Structure 1
Amino acid sequence: MRVLISGCDGQVGWELQRSMSVLGEVFAFNREQMDLSPPGKAAAVVARIAPDVVVNAAAYTAVDKAESEEALATRINGEAVGELARAARDVNALLVHYSTDYVFDGSKEEAYTELDATAPLSAYGRGKLVGERAIADVGGDWLTFRTTWVYGVRGRNFLRTMLRLAATREELSVVGDQYGAPTSARMIADATSQIVAQSMRERQTGRFDSGLFNLTAADSTTWHGFAEAIIDAARSYQPSSVVTTRIKSISTSEYPTPARRPRNSLLDNSALVGRFVVHRPNWRVAMQYVLDDLFAATAPL
């Protein structure tokens, strides 16, 4: 099996290189090698490699900056995704793509299902929704996974930010009225590998069905609860790395950002589990694995 991964330097892309390596030959491309901004460039890479699977982990992820760069964000997260879908279809490859809870407005009280109406609040969410729809319109064999609150051992993410701030600030203020499921890049990559293996077997026997699925860790918390868990765990690893003594819970209105975030980011994973029987660790367990990896390094931040 030949697997092409875009965005290999990102949080999920980096983990995918490890998890997908058990399935076959992996061709991993970073942003410079497979830039989604220029029309046709990424599709040309797919045509040249002619993989069996295309996993698109490349994305415009600067949520707040997207408010002033919506055309670029939509180009990368939307239009280019449609081009990738056509390129994958043309070489008969399975396309795997990642989307976001930001396609919803967060007003629902319960967890969102794949069938709920979308209503993005931000330019980032609107662009990701364009990508979702483009894949479905192109057809072929595809899987789109919506996920939430992604973090990992690399890049800019909430967990690494909290560890850095906890090393220098006695008090932190963190939003406590937004709910979601922190989901590690490692968990996403491992689940993707399992799902791709099953999907390729189904394709060989003509039983595969394309679809959109929610993919997150189990259980839920707030950003404030996530911050408390991160810092408490960091103390157990390396007490000297934490000077924070208080984590204050604040409202969304007290922490204004250019892009509006959903109040409720919970996604119902019932369809995913029913279709693929994927193990979804509790977010606290998955977080522990990431911290294990970080603190095993000489410089975790």
Structure 2
Amino acid sequence: MKVLLLGSDGLLGSELKKVFSSDYDITAFVRENLDITDEKEVLQKVEEIKPRIIINATGYTSVDNAESEKDLATAVNGYAVGYLAKAAQKVGALLVHYSTDYVFSGNKGVGYTEDDMPAEVPSTIYGQSKLLGEMELQKNTDKFYLIRTSWVFGSGGKNFVDTMIRLGTERDELRVVNDQHGKPTYAVDLAKATRDLIESSAKFGIYHLTNEGDTTWYEYAKYIIGKYGTTQKWRKKEFPRIIPVNSEEFSRLHIVRGQATPAKRPSWSILVNTKFSHLRPWQEALKEYLNSLI
């Protein structure tokens, strides 16, 4: 079965490539192979390859930079998804697309299920661009899996886990936000779950796929430093001190340092999976990833 994978060199895309390469006829594109913001080029490539499945693992993922690069974020995360959906519909392909917890307001106080409505206007430009992509997807094809996920980590791309390890080796003290809640997700597990979802022939629609268990960035950072600190690599220096701060204080610290103010992220964007098999706890997945770094 032919699969067209877009973004095959990214954090998630590289794992998807591994998962699908063994049993599928996969065409894996990086950004240089296809400009997904060019509607004509998208249609031409899709008609040329005629895949049965298109997996879109591309995206503009810098939440903070999107605040000053709205047009680019909107083009990649929003309108381009519509182009892919139209092309998929034309050749009869299933389109798998990934979205984010940041489409929700974060004001609910409990987790968001697949049936909950996104915010009318998400708090970040990134969230707004991803919501536009969701709307473009559902408007232009009826054969899709829209997978919302959150806090993705793994090899092959910039992520919070790697950032904490790097900063922990450089600094004696780390200040980390303690009033934003979410679910970490291992790219390896998400890629495997994506294949399982496709092969299950589940009903088309929206799915929430994350590792189980929620946390804050602060508690997450403590866990990362603590677990990585048991390896030989870390014993060369003392553990950094991790200090909890609220989002407002974190923004002020950026201003004092002359850095760009972070985007206003949702405070409670926990995704609840009610429609598909649950993934393992994030702590277990993180241990596996940290062991792979030794």
TM-score (norm 1): 0.90
8 Å contact kept, 1:169–1:243: no
Residue 227 of structure 2 is aligned to residue 233 of structure 1: yes
8 Å contact kept, 1:234–1:241: no
> Residues of 2 paired with 1:69 and 1:96: CA distance?
25
Cα distance change on mapping 1:64 and 1:23 into 2, 3 Å: same
Equivalent AA in structure 2 for residue 293 of structure 1:
S
Cα deviation, 1:250-288, whole Å, max 9, x if unaligned, reads 1111112341101002011012x2xxxx24110101111
> Residues of 2 paired with 1:270 and 1:68: CA distance?
35
Q: Which runs of 5+ in 1 are unaligned?
A: 200-207, 296-301
> Residues of 2 paired with 1:194 and 1:115: CA distance?
21
Matched residue SS, 2:39: coil
Number of the residue aligned with 2:165: 163
Residue 29 of structure 2 is aligned to residue 29 of structure 1: yes
Residue 2 of structure 2 is aligned to residue 2 of structure 1: yes
Q: What is the CA distance between 1:43 and its match in structure 2?
A: 3.0
> Residues of 1 paired with 2:138 and 2:227: CA distance?
41
> Residues of 1 paired with 2:107 and 2:226: CA distance?
31
Structure 1 runs (4+) deviating above 4 angstroms are none
After TM superposition, the structure 1 = structure 2 runs for residues 140-151 of structure 1, keeping only pairs within 5 Å, are 140-151=142-153
Number of the residue aligned with 1:190: 192
Q: How many residues were matched structurally?
A: 282
> Residues of 2 paired with 1:294 and 1:245: CA distance?
19
Residue 206 of structure 2 is aligned to residue 212 of structure 1: yes
TM-score (norm 2): 0.92
Query: Once superposed, what is the RMSD of the aligned Cα atoms?
Result: 1.4
> Residues of 2 paired with 1:249 and 1:144: CA distance?
34
> Residues of 1 paired with 2:149 and 2:104: CA distance?
12
Number of the residue aligned with 2:177: 175
8 Å contact kept, 1:169–1:244: no
> Residues of 1 paired with 2:56 and 2:42: CA distance?
10
Alignment match of 2:154 (pick from 152, 155, 180)? 152
Equivalent AA in structure 2 for residue 292 of structure 1:
N
Q: What is the CA distance between 1:142 and its match in structure 2?
A: 0.5
8 Å contact kept, 1:166–1:241: no
Task: State which drifts further: 215-224 or 39-48.
Answer: 39-48
Number of the residue aligned with 1:247: 242
Residue 217 of structure 2 is aligned to residue 223 of structure 1: yes
Q: Which runs of 5+ in 2 are unaligned?
A: 252-260
Matched residue SS, 1:255: helix
Cα deviation, 1:44-90, whole Å, max 9, x if unaligned, reads 22221111110000001111111111121111111110110111111
After TM superposition, the structure 1 = structure 2 runs for residues 30-179 of structure 1, keeping only pairs within 5 Å, are 30-119=30-119, 120-179=122-181
Q: What is the CA distance between 1:241 and its match in structure 2?
A: 5.5
